[in-house]
Amino acid sequence: MNELEQLKQLVLEYGFDDESRQQVADLEARLKKVAMAEKLAENPIIKEYVDYLSDNSMRAKALLLNDRSLTDRERDKLFERIDLCDRFSSIFTGKDREEIESTIKDLLNVAKTS
């Protein structure tokens, strides 16, 4: 049984509050959304876009590291670009899944000790 199923079982069987049940339902919905996004990432057009975002983020990081003449505003814009690119690409690259699975694991450990 995977960790999400274990967590769902513990939360339902041991009478956790509605907030806990809702948190588990939200995690399950997020995990399903990430699985759909990862499936979409197999599409060549989506993959090309994710690669573009990744390249764009790396170029911005390189500029921040190497160009000491940037103004504060230019630096802020580069940080915004990095954040935006990384946020959208993380949906398709599995980084979001890792975060969700880590949260599930943490909640499972707490539920087992409660």
**Closest by CA position to 27, among listed 94, 88, 93, 105:** 105
pLDDT value of residue 43? 93
Domain that holds residue 109: 3-113
CB atoms within 10 A of CB 34: 21
Q: Structural domain tally of the chain?
A: 1
Identify residue 61 by its one-letter amino acid code: K
- pTM for the whole structure: 0.67
pLDDT value of residue 112? 78
Q: What is the pLDDT of residues 74-97, one digit of tens each?
A: 999 999 999 999 988 888 887 888
pLDDT in tens, the chain (114 residues): 588 888 888 877 777 788 888 888 898 999 899 889 888 888 999 999 999 999 999 999 999 999 999 999 999 999 999 999 998 888 888 788 888 889 888 888 887 776
